[in-house]
């Protein structure tokens, strides 16, 4: 492989957007808890090591391997129902035998689903007028399978993220407008009865109903009330660490995880909040520009569009939740909230994006006619 050619197509702009998020996250987590900071540092090192290996995997040629990964994750999602380990009142993890680690299949499924959609759409690109009903139904079924399985865990937040990001990718790639019009009409007819049906069938648990009812009535739960106090106390430029009493004295629940945005604004104020929103918005728009610019490269188009939508959903839902504009759900702030699973997932997704960008042209890395052990390995994995 020619290192100069790889670096020439490596996208450093994405890193410039992501690096401030990671630095700010580690700085604030260290202020809250040194032990958490040390653990998060381990996650960073693990992510970089795994990312270095993943960067050189020829994903564009791993058609059957990607199918196997997708099916394996579906099986693991089903097994969660039977052998899942409960954490925070939810059984969503599977312990890895003979280790102290556990895996959350629903998070890994986000990576597998992206690769599966990218591989399938690259092999079956849409016509000029967009996908018709047949191909739309086939691709949508790939999204609905993990959606329903995750929904039954139950993990409503992650299930909706999977569904929305899958439908969003189809929108970016191209679907005939008559399909969207039809689905829109059906949605308007079905939505009024969806809530009652979901609750009566057990898909919506009592705590889901309570959260939705609190949101509709404007009665903020305790954690949102404390988050709004923290945001308000941040003022325009924020408070010093010693004066950030909401987070430092433990009044703000989940300050390092789901309500990290409130802690961030308490420290950096309204000015810092606008800066953070600008970083997320800039990253999302840049990823969308890559997606829309990759006219014929559908693998890159799906990968960049998928990650852009995922960042938009995670950041948008989390921030709206914290300020009381959405019901409380377990959605972390991407690349900032403390936690290894979400952090590593986004890191791996970004590494796959860099892989798709760096190796998008026919170098000896991915040329079908290339010779040598690496080319042979590519052909073997692809078959």
Nearest to 259 by CA among 342, 313, 338: 338
Q: What is the pLDDT of residue 301?
A: 96
pLDDT single digits (tens) 259-302 = 999 999 999 999 999 999 999 999 999 999 999 998 889 999 99
On the question of pLDDT at 148 being above 70, the answer is yes
Task: Read off the pLDDT band of 362 (50, 70, 90).
Answer: low
With a CB cutoff of 8 Å and minimum separation 6, the contacts of 54 are: 348, 351, 352, 355
Q: What is the pLDDT of residue 299?
A: 95
For residue 59, give the H/E element and its range: none
Cα dist from 227 to 13, 31, 242, whole Å = 32, 18, 18
On the question of pLDDT at 88 being above 60, the answer is no
Calpha distance 191→171 (Å, rounded): 21
**Which of 25-29's residues contact partners 24+ apart within 8 Å by CB, and which partners?**
25/260, 25/335, 25/336, 25/337, 25/338, 28/256, 28/260, 28/263, 28/264, 28/267, 29/256, 29/338
Nearest to 374 by CA among 115, 125, 56, 15: 56
On the question of pLDDT at 370 being above 50, the answer is no
pLDDT single digits (tens) 18-66 = 999 999 999 999 999 899 999 999 999 999 999 999 999 999 989 999 9
pLDDT single digits (tens) 316-359 = 999 999 998 888 888 899 999 988 888 999 999 999 999 999 88
Cα dist from 110 to 57, 187, 260, whole Å = 18, 25, 22
User: For the ranges 32-46, 181-195, 236-250, 264-278, which has the lowest average pLDDT?
Assistant: 181-195
pTM of the model: 0.88
Q: What is the pLDDT of residue 8?
A: 75
Task: Read off the pLDDT band of 219 (50, 70, 90).
Answer: confident
């Amino acid at each position: 492989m020619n290192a100069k050619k790889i670096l020439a197509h490596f996208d450093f702009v994405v890193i410039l957007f992501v690096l401030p998020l990671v630095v700010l996250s580690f700085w604030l987590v260290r202020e809250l808890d040194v032990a958490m900071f040390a653990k998060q540092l381990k996650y960073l090192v693990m992510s970089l090591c795994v990312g270095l290996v993943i960067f050189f995997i020829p994903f564009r040629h791993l058609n059957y391997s990607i199918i196997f990964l997708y099916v394996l994750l579906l099986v693991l999602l089903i097994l969660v129902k039977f052998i899942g380990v409960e954490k925070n009142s939810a059984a969503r993890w599977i312990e890895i035998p003979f280790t102290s680690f556990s895996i959350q299949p629903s998070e890994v499924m986000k990576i597998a689903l992206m690769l599966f959609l990218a591989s399938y759409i690259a092999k079956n690109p849409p016509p000029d007028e967009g996908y018709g009903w047949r191909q739309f139904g086939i691709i949508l079924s790939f999204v609905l399978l993990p959606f329903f399985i995750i929904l039954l865990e139950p993990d409503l937040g992650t299930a909706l993220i999977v569904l929305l990001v899958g439908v969003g990718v189809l929108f970016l790639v191209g679907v005939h407008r008559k399909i969207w019009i039809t689905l829109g009409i059906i949605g308007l007819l079905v939505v009024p009865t969806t809530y009652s049906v979901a609750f009566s069938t057990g898909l919506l648990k009592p705590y889901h109903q309570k959260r939705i009812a609190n949101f509709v009535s404007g009665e903020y739960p305790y954690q949102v009330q404390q988050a709004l106090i923290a945001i308000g106390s941040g003022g325009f430029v924020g408070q010093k660490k010693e004066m950030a009493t909401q987070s430092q004295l433990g009044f703000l629940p989940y300050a390092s995880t789901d309500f990290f945005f409130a802690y961030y604004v308490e420290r950096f104020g309204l000015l810092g909040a606008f800066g953070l929103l600008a970083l997320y918005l800039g990253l999302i728009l840049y990823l969308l520009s890559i997606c829309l610019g990759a006219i014929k490269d559908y693998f890159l188009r799906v990968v960049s569009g998928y990650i852009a939508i995922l960042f938009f959903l995670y950041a948008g839902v989390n921030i709206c939740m914290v300020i009381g504009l959405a019901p409380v759900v377990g959605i972390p702030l991407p690349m900032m909230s403390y936690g290894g699973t979400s952090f590593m997932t986004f890191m791996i997704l970004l590494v796959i994006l860099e892989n798709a960008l760096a190796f998008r042209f026919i170098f000896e890395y991915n040329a079908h006619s290339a010779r040598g052990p690496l080319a042979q390995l590519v052909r073997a994995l692809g078959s």
